[in-house]
Every structure is written in C-alpha cells, then in structure tokens.
Structure 1
C-alpha cells in the first residue's frame, strides 16, 4: 500500500510539473508576442494581428507536444474542470492541477519580464505612464476590456469564447468522433483553434480563455510593482477572466457531451455491440 501511495504521489508530482511547464511555455511565448505588439513603434504586428494569434496558438501546440505524455496538457483550469465533470478526470487532482497551472503563468510572466523589462521601463518613461495609476504595459501580461467593452460585457465574451474552445477540444479528443484529427495532429488543430479565436476576437478583451494564463501573470505583476493596476484592476476586473472561462468551459463541454456525443455513429455501434 505504501509503495502504491508513493507511486501515485510521484505520478501526481510529475503531472503538476508538466502542467506548470505547459502554462509557462504558453505565457512566455504568448506574452512575448504581446510585448512585440505593444511596446514597439512601429510594431511588426499592428497591421498583421494574425501573427499574434498564430503565435499564441502555436505556443499551445508546443506545450502539448512537450508535456502531453505526462499530464495530458490541460494547461487551463477551465479544461481541467470540464474534464473532471465529463471525461472521468480525478477530482482529487483538480486543485493540484490548478495550482500548478497558475504557478506556470507566474513563472512565464517572470521570464517575459526578464526578457523585456528594460523595454517596458523605456516604454513607460517615453509615454509618461505610471505603472500603478496607468498600468503601463500591463497589457503585455494580463488582459483588460478593449475599447467600447465594459467589464461585464468582457466576462460574457469570455464565457462564449471559452465555450467554443472547450467544445472544440472535446470534439478533437473524442474517441467516437471519426472525423477528428488522428494521432499527434490534434495538438496542431487545438493550437489553430486558439489562434482563430484570437484572430476573430482578440481586440475585445485579449481573449484570455484561461484563468491561469491571466491570473498567474497578474499575480506576478502585483508583486513586481503594478499594484492596484493588477489587483483589483480598473472596474474590479481581476476576477472576470477567471469566472468567465470557468463557466464557458462547462458550457462548451456540456454542449458537446449532451448534444453531439450521444449521436456519434461510432458510439452507437459500440453500445449496440456491448448490448448484444
């Protein structure tokens, strides 16, 4: 029994390390391209936002290829919650995965600051921006509502966008979906799914889609000196990129599991065979 517990504990530790590294990879690459977009004038991405979106998406693909064999690469608390509700993921692992994912977001943001810290400081000075009052360059690290978007509208957007994300992930990874990508190509399609969501809606509020992607860097920024620009942030927005994706993930998973999966022909054949 002791050996079994030790083995289980060691396996969970490996999964947590993998989840931490996955989110760290995503945030390091994604926030770095956000820095390229925001801090430079002229920015190479101002007239080519698809470059920002595809970079975020391929960061997700890379994270899956690096860590998928260890943890399955949830890399998103909303995905972890949806998998626990509908795909048999252990509820005992949910909170440890969340902690690891948020920690990965913190570490990723710290790496981005190590890369771009001097550029951020120059940007703030050149534009006469204060870190706390103006949130200078904070958009590099975490999300805000865009122009003409209220905080509540932004949260509603995150519910919708994350529902589409998790609906797609559930479809791509469903064993009964015969038109889903096969073998390792699923990682690329999930990355492209993230990219098309960003390309179509990134200006609304930065398409967080992932509580760890927003909360981990926000915690780092609070520690690093952004203060109330990070927490509670203007309009007390800090909790909305957490709540919106968590609700949206459940909505997307529920839509797939109740409206599509029961009618998969491959599932029906398996059920009929088992009944015979």
Structure 2
C-alpha cells in the first residue's frame, strides 16, 4: 500500500509551492508509508528531460526529500510514498517512480506475480524490470501497448492484460492497479481495485483516487488527507491532464473484449507471419 500524488501546474512552480496546503499532510503519511520515497518531474529548456530522485528513507525525516520538493518544478510532477509488501522487503530497486524512456510511472496496489505470469510479461518484450516488483511488470506491459496506442489507452490495455494473466495463473483478479504515469506532454491516472482483496489494515477508501481541477493546477491524490472538494476517478477510468492547457478529460473503461489477451495477440502475430511468408 502506497500513496500517490500527481500535479500539473500553470505556471511552472516548485512542487512545495504548487501544493500549498496539501504538501505537508501528504508527506506526513510517510510515518506509515515509510519504505522509500520518489519524486519525478521534467527539466530542461522545454521541461521535457526526465528527472528522478528516490531514496530508501522516511520522507518526513529526509533532507533530500525537502530539497527535491524545491527542485521539482512543474508543469508535471509526481510523488510516491512507499509501503512495501511483506514479501518484498524494502530495497532501492523497488522505489517508485520508475522510468521508461521519457515516461515516469508509480503504482499503488499489488497483484499476484507467480513465475509463469512474470515470464509471460517478459515475453512481450516491453521495458525490462530492474527489480522484482509487480509494479515494474505493469509498466513493462504499458510500454508494449504504448507502441500502438495513446498513453491512457495503453494503461487500460495493460491493466486488462494483467487481469487476464492473474486470473489464468493465480485464479483471481489484481488486488489494485491504481497508478500515475507521465509523458512530457500529459499526466495519466488510472483506477482499478478489487474491494474483496482489501487487507485488514486497509481503510474503506484505501485505493480511491481523487482529482481536483483549479485554474492554475490539477491534482490527483490517493486518500489520506482532506479531499471534500475532489472528484472520484471511477473503476477502469483513466484521467488525462494536458500540460499546456490543464484540460482534463476522463477516458471511460475499455469495453469488454477491447483488449485482446496475450495468447490472442500472439496468435494474431503468428497468423500475420504466415500470411507474409
């Protein structure tokens, strides 16, 4: 269980300034979510060069975190506070966000990752995971689908593929696939979770993602701080925020069957190879 925060701002200002009232209470959650933190943003003349700071430390007690919050200037910024799974002890390779080219990704949730599932994901040829987290497997599939689909749909299709794989290899759906991902042009948030797999220490809204659009910023934040004036992102929906305009749109869930299973895709590829031969 982790905490997520994404911000798109106009004008581009440091994260600690952009969040104003939200930054301190969000950071305070690291008392519980204490297994590392990460901040990602874009730098350079056109704010398109990925920058990433990650530490295996408690954010509220870490001077590097405070420095990174001042260095992280918009328009696109992402923060992750990690609480590791009991089966994955804290280690530097497991700290979010993760980078794939100019994409930055962080995840709040978990899903079964037996060896057969991991092998099936790696066989798809996406980004190679650097550690053993389920989160990097999710990102790997997103990079596969992003070759042919817009980023929001790539996330939805990757989530559908993970759902098919977990049902095939673990007999249950993913527990949660909530995530944030940015390109230099946009922020995408995705919400999907299974309430039946909520753990005893989870709250009722543990995996709810909420967003708020102001005149000068759009925020997407997981639960844990006051959010009475936020909208809730629905199950299977993807939120897209444009960095240039702050225009927000919600992409509805994929229609049933819209995302082929890995086996179906492989069969289609094999058929194409035969036709080309």
TM range (shorter): under 0.3
Higher relative contact order, structure no. (Cα contacts within 8 Å, ≥ 6 residues apart) = 1
Give 1 or 2 for the bigger CA radius of gyration: 1
TM-score under structure 2 length normalisation: 0.27
More strand by share: 2
Relative to the length of structure 1, the TM-score reads 0.27
